[in-house]
Amino acid sequence: MGIKRSVAFAMVLFLTLLTVTTFAACATEESALKEKYEQAGFDAQSFPFASASVDKELVDFAYHGLKNANSSNVEQVFVITFNSIDDARNYYDAHVSDADKPNMMRQGRAVVYGSKDAVALY
């Protein structure tokens, strides 16, 4: 009985550490992305899920950045990290030709679009 209890405890401990590590990795990626865009002069905005034609249920993380809002040289970037590569691929395939989503690219689960320089920062 002691061995079974030890194995069960070890499994619970392992799963707990795995969960914490996963959340920490996601938070770090999001924080690093926001910091990168902030350093480049972008201000975080609320993400426009409806106008971006994105189902919130399919999204792990979304970022909308705006730079030079009060000038004629406005730059925007939209970063969407989907829950799965298939969701990202489907979104990309459906919207890559949309005129209101310029310079779109996909990397793994992420789809990025916006001004050329902003997308290049990703």
pLDDT digits (tens, 9 = 90+) for 54-103: 999 999 999 999 999 888 889 999 999 999 999 999 999 999 999 999 99
Residue 9 CB neighbours (<10 A): 10
pLDDT digits (tens, 9 = 90+) for 82-95: 999 999 999 999 99
- pTM for the complete prediction? 0.75
φ, ψ of residue 92 to 5 degrees: the values are -60, -50
